[in-house]
Every structure is written in structure tokens, then in C-alpha cells.
Structure 1
Amino acid sequence: MRPFDDATRRNIAAACTAFTRLPENSEASVLKRAAVVIALTAAVEGDATAFLLTRRASSLRAHRGQWALPGGRCDAGETPVEAALRELDEELNLKLTASEVLGLLDDYPTRSGYLVTPVVVWAADSAAITPNPQEVASVHHIALATIERADAFDFVAIPESARRVIRFHHHESLIHAPTAALIYQFREMLAGRQTRVTDLEQPVFAWK
């Protein structure tokens, strides 16, 4: 178990520092920029470290009801870190600064035309979480031990692509890429592995 304390923060920050991001692909310039947040906080019960996962509101135009990391499209002139912190505030009322950012993972190009930058942050004040009902149906604290299980992820073939679809098993739900791919890379980074996920596929229903 990773307790939610200063030692865990230092260890995860060190893992982020040791992680070498992929250089930006020249094709990325045609994609719309977006950012998501892997927000580390205390689990609901006990003192374990968890990250925040949301269910998108059913009223949203795109990807309604799906599991997602907090985040969204970058505004004009906005960096991915700035966008990630703004979205965290808008969706969950968590007001963090750049000092809480521990690092970034690889950009993930989506089938729907976005280049998503995952930003890892330390969100100590989880008591302030207030979901915006226009964007978020529910918020879930996922203990890091959950994604470190050997059976947390699987990879399946689909006839529409030569790439494997990654799936994260969460209770009775299957969470797919890009969310599953980003969580998987975060899990691998915690273990000190430079695992790449841009070749992991999304399910066909997420291609629009």
C-alpha cells in the first residue's frame, strides 16, 4: 500500500522525473490539444493514495456517461498544465497550482482528433471536491493498489484495427482508451518502467 503522505509524494515525483516523455510527433500539429489530470489524493477509507476518476454527466454532447479522468480541451494560448488545472477546478472545484504538478506522461493521440496530455498532480485537499453536475455525474477514488493488480488490465484484438484494445477492469465496468491507456502508463511509470501506450487502441465506439 502507498500511504497518502509526503514520502509517497516524493516517490511519485521522483518516478515522474525519471520518466522520459516521447518527443512530439510532427503529425500532432493537426490535432486539437487537450489535457487530463491524474489527481492523487487520499482514498475514501484508510490512508492509501488514490486517484480521481469521474463518470461524465448524461447531459453532455460527447461521451456522455463514460468513465474519464478530469480534463478537457485546451483553450487558445493555454498550456496543457494550465488546461488541466483549470478543468480540475471547473469539474471538481479543486483549485491547485503548478506547484502541485508532479509530472507529465506521454501525449496520446485519440481517434476523435485530440492530442491528450496527462498531467500528474498532488491534490491534498480532497475535502474540497464538489462535482459540477453539468459535467460530472459522480467522482470515484481509485486506490493505486487497484491498478497495480496483475488482472487490472487486459488487451484484446478487434477486426477493425491491427492494434490491441486496452481495457481497465473496474468493478463491473470496462474502461477503455484513452483513459485506460493513460492509467496503464501511470501504473507502469510507478513501477519504474518506460512503457509506451500510443499503440494501444480505442474501441470502435470511441472513434468519433
Structure 2
Amino acid sequence: MSTINRFELSRALRQFRAIKLPLDGRRAAAVCIAVLIEDGKPAIWLTERSSSLRAHPGQVAFPGGRIDPNETAAEAALREVKEELGLHVHPQQILGELDDFATKSGYVITPFVVWIGDFAGTLRPNASEVARVHAVTMDEVDTEPRFVTDPRVDSPILQWPFRDLGIHAPTAAILYQFREVVLRRRHTRVAHVGQPVFAWQ
């Protein structure tokens, strides 16, 4: 595994050319892959969505959401971190992007990698949106995914084994590409991976 610090993250992302997708009638969204150092070890934040939310309750996700009118994707990603976690992130903390990911539920998600750095503060999750926040270590990120089949889905469905939670695409696909690009220095594409039926029906 490569060393994780701001310089190495920036270098890995500079060497990667993210694929941008047209909306083609879909809605635009953005997520934030926030990389922090906690107790001397790098990690990223994943949230468990509140069970009261209408869309995807209880699912594990990156902080993020729909892009508002007259708002850039980057602005949306940082706004969502503020709204969901109570943390202000400066635009200069954005290090790069991963591939846009088109979801079966009708979104094109732009993932931004953001450097938080040493973090010893306290998050203030918005309880109406976030039930729980997980600090996921790089050892947990650097895990081989599973691929399962479903006769209703054309491609094998990517699952990410994380503790006692099952994570599926799109979050699992973005997490997998982060692992490949940043930790493994492999420019792996993930647009083809299958998405579970429950995520879009």
C-alpha cells in the first residue's frame, strides 16, 4: 500500500484522468471522499443514512447529494459535508476527482477526494440525515471486493465487505476506484459494475 498523505494523494490523482459523463436526462450529484488522519492513521468517512429518509434509508454512503441550480459539483460536495457532518471544508482542500458514476436511480455522481488532514475535533452529524459516521481505515479500504450475480442485473454486482455492513454500488464502486487509483496506483474503471435492484427500484 502506498503512503497516504496530501502529497501522495495529489500525485496519484494528478496521474489519473477522470471520465466525465453527460447527464442525458439524469440528475447531477456529488460526493466527498474525505481523507483524514486520526490517531496517526489515515481514514475516510462513510455515513449511515438516517432511517427516516425517503431515499435510500439506512444505506452506507459518502457525504453528498444533489447539485443545486447555479452550483458547481465541487460546491455541492463541500456544502453536503457541511450540512451532513457540520464540518467546513475549503475548496483548496479538494485534491482531485474520480470518474463520474451513473446510477440506475437516475443520477450522475461526481466524486471529489478532499484532504482533511489531522483531525482531533468532533463531528456534528445532522441527525435528520445521518444516523452514524464511520472512520474507515485504509486497511479496510484496501480489501478485495466481492462480485455476486442476480438474473435481474446484466453485470456482476459489486459488494464491499465492511465490518458487519454490506456496501453496494454506487458507494462500493467509488470506494473500489479510490482504492485502485490511490492505494494501488491502477487506473481501474468501474462504470460497468452491477448495481443491486434495491438501489434503484
Give the TM-score normalised by the residue count of structure 1.
0.91
The residue aligned with 1:15 is 12
What is the 5 A alignment of 1:42-191?
A: 42-43=37-38, 46-124=39-117, 126=119, 127-149=121-143, 151=144, 153-190=145-182, 191=184
Q: Which runs of 5+ in 2 are unaligned?
A: none
Pairwise CA RMSD: 1.5
Shift of 1:99: 0.4
Percent identical = 43
Aligned amino acid, residue 8 of structure 2:
N
Aligned amino acid, residue 30 of structure 1:
G
Aligned amino acid, residue 170 of structure 1:
F
Does the Cα contact within 8 Å between 1:35 and 1:71 map onto a contact in 2?
yes
Q: Distance in 1 between matches of 2:57 and 2:20?
A: 32
Shift of 1:3: 7.0
When you count helix as a share of all residues, which structure comes out higher?
Answer: 1
Q: Distance in 2 between matches of 1:37 and 1:167?
A: 20
Q: Distance in 2 between matches of 1:3 and 1:196?
A: 22
Does the Cα contact within 8 Å between 1:108 and 1:115 map onto a contact in 2?
yes
Q: Distance in 1 between matches of 2:29 and 2:175?
A: 16
**Structure 1 residue 37 corresponds to structure 2 residue 32:** yes
Would you say how many aligned residue pairs link Structure 1 and Structure 2? 199
Q: Which runs of 5+ in 1 are unaligned?
A: none
Q: Distance in 1 between matches of 2:33 and 2:92?
A: 15
